[in-house]
Structure 1
Amino acid sequence: MLTGRRPFGRGGLSVGPVGYGVAALGNLYQALPDDVWPRCVPAAWDAGVRYFDVAPHYGLGLAEERLGQALAGRPRDELIVSSKVGRLLVPNEDYAGERDPGMFDVPATLRRVRDYSRDGVLRSLENTLRRTGLDRIDVLFVHDPDDHEREALDGAFPALEELRSQDVIRSYGAGMNQSAMLARFVRETDLDIVMVAGRYTLLDQSALDDLLPLAAERGVSVAAAGVFNSGLLATPRPGPVARYDYAQASAALVERAHRIADIAERHGATLPVLAAQFPLAHPAVATVVLGADSPEQIVSNAALVSEPLDPLVWAELADAGLLRADAPTADSVTERMG
């Protein structure tokens, strides 16, 4: 059972074990009905979630607008909001009624322009504050700079350092679907939080090779996102057409997930419980960020980390070659969290 709060960055923030990634509020893959999306953030709040992650990219700003509406009136000092920089939203002058091509079911009245410059960071933050209606954003991540590493190092990170030194934001970092570049950013900048998606999960522990040891050494907090690997680990028994990293999962990955599920069931657990709790055993990981597109799913996700687990499940997974032997497991995390 994982409860309590952990330090989140070096700016005095702390988080619970679960954060809510609100991409679905931007109509990810499909539009959320008007009687559903307004209930999502209240459901997370009632379940004890106080960390909310968003980005301009999500629904061309729609997720930021909806998150701001949902948080209006909540005690600001009790919650943490992170957003991202690197994709500016500008008017789509050629708009002719088409939908957004970027996985979000929204009108393409705006378009994304990559901009990792100092000016781009400042403009992005200004626009995020306007869309959310919040008085501040606590954490800013450089978003997916895979093909823009030099621009991020020369422009975005110095700008974020300036914003943190002026107490405009509390912490900054980067959010990516890879660990190698995040590790370089940990070495080369003074960031204090990173969000790594999909690279520290039951099916992919590659962040152990670079990012996680370095983050622990440098006192950098890690938010683990994509812990269900796009859905393959989100149900007790994945179907044959489950998704993995935004694409259809291979038969080999589906079979591996079923082998993990077999062991989980022998210990009275489920695949989603293991997937949510596994990353939290690493000393650098402060929280797992879980997406959801319904109030019911949010409540279910928030409860995953509260499920008691037989610590022998991790040893059996390692013995079966389904978990790296050097991966920290939950028999030590309870001692850290108290």
Structure 2
Amino acid sequence: MASPARSWFAERVPLGRSDVTVTRLGLGTAPLAGLYSAVGEDQATAALEAAWAAGIRYFDTAPHYGAGLAERRLGAFLATRPRAEAAVSTKVGRLLVPGEATAGGEGFHDDQGLVRVRDYSAEGVYRSLSESLERSGLDSFEIALIHDPDDHWQEAVTGAYPALERLRAEGAVRAIGAGMNQTAMLTRFVAETDVDCVLVAGRYTLLDRTAADDLLPLCARRQVGVIVGGVFNSGILADPVPGATYDYAPATEDVWRRVRALAERCAEHGVAPAAAALRFPLRHPAVTGVVVGARSAREVTENIAHAATAIPEALWAELDASGVT
């Protein structure tokens, strides 16, 4: 008999109106490409192996992650597994060109002598996906997302989006959307275009429920799939200790106050805050799944344990009523 954790991770669900299905838990590959600190090849492979063994079959990547390193490592791993079992999302909007990269630039510690150039044009989309296919060795991506077009709405909606729409119509990709750390522009994409899905990072968590105001209800009405990333708000909910970050910056005292109150309520029910954080987004009917990054097999195993934790309804009720979230 399959373990509860395996069954939970292996559940495949449709991604919006598309014919793509993803597992309820996906693996984000940014940490495997040296986000915040370098990760060796063997360590990255072990993390991917642990995720696959747990039943995870959705993997999210991007050229931005380690200047292509994440795509290369993921592609090399999937070459050893049945490709048809996996769903992979990559992103467009940042082209990689030769240049002198600063060590640790943009948070990554292995930039391969490449620098990132923003390009949300149609030509940039075609070039980006072509180069991603070459780097990864994959023959296609199931999902293509416009990556962080925060200051580039016009170019993204008149260049990148129509290009992805054409690629979807041609069958080159099966689902299209956008991935961002904000909800306002994602809501515009859902309202004004025909995206299949969105990836919203950090805006539907125990500490920030902004996505529930407009984005999630609209996605539900329009049958747009929602993948939630950043469930730990860049670290503080995974390991709430001094020095932890909230949205990639040192946590403020107000955030610490809320985290301490949350942790106290979780402790009363014998639940780790990380477990509650990982399971929280899946309570919303509009949410298709969550994607969580990991930099080692140990972190993957920890996330699996958190995801398998049964969360008492009484704890959810307290967190909803208390205002600490």
Same fold (TM over 0.5): yes
Match of 2:175 among 171, 179, 191: 171
Match of 2:295 among 290, 293, 296: 293
1:190-245 deviations in whole A, cap 9, x for unaligned?
Answer: 0011000000000000111111110011000110000100111003xx11221000
Secondary structure of 2:63's partner? coil
**Quick one: distance in 2 between partners of 1:34 and 1:51?**
20
Match of 1:41 among 48, 57, 62: 48
Contact 1:100/1:108 (8 A) holds in 2: no
Q: Confirm or deny that 1:195 pairs with 2:212.
A: no
Secondary structure of 1:35's partner? helix
**Quick one: distance in 2 between partners of 1:199 and 1:11?**
24
Matched AA of 2:36 = Y
| Structure with the bigger percentage of helix | 2
Q: Confirm or deny that 1:9 pairs with 2:9.
A: no
Q: TM-score, normalised by structure 2?
A: 0.94
Counterparts in 2 of 1:188 and 1:107: CA distance versus 1, 3 Å: closer
Deviation at residue 42 of structure 1 after TM alignment: 0.7
Q: Which residue of 2 aligns with 1:121?
A: 125
Q: Which residue of 2 aligns with 1:212?
A: 216
Deviation at residue 264 of structure 1 after TM alignment: 1.2
Contact 1:240/1:251 (8 A) holds in 2: no
Q: Which residue of 2 aligns with 1:25?
A: 32
Matched AA of 2:22 = V
Match of 1:80 among 73, 83, 87: 87
Q: Which residue of 1 aligns with 2:268?
A: 266
Unpaired runs of 5+ in structure 2?
A: none
Contact 1:99/1:108 (8 A) holds in 2: no
**Quick one: distance in 2 between partners of 1:283 and 1:165?**
28
**Where do residues 100-179 of structure 1 align in structure 2 (5 Å cutoff)?**
101-107=105-111, 109-179=113-183
1:10-65 deviations in whole A, cap 9, x for unaligned?
Answer: 22222222100000121111111343122111111001110000000011111111
**Quick one: distance in 1 between partners of 2:137 and 2:42?**
22
**Quick one: distance in 1 between partners of 2:209 and 2:173?**
31
Counterparts in 2 of 1:107 and 1:217: CA distance versus 1, 3 Å: closer
Runs of 4+ with >3 A deviation:
none
**Where do residues 239-250 of structure 1 align in structure 2 (5 Å cutoff)?**
239-250=241-252
Matched AA of 1:209 = D
Secondary structure of 2:317's partner? helix
**Quick one: distance in 1 between partners of 2:111 and 2:253?**
36
Q: Confirm or deny that 1:316 pairs with 2:318.
A: yes
**Quick one: distance in 2 between partners of 1:163 and 1:172?**
9
Deviation at residue 319 of structure 1 after TM alignment: 2.3
Deviation at residue 154 of structure 1 after TM alignment: 0.2
Unpaired runs of 5+ in structure 1?
A: 324-338
Contact 1:179/1:207 (8 A) holds in 2: yes
Matched AA of 1:73 = T
Matched AA of 2:160 = A
Q: Which residue of 1 aligns with 2:234?
A: 230
What is the CA RMSD across the aligned residues, in angstroms? 1.5
Matched AA of 1:22 = T
Secondary structure of 1:29's partner? coil
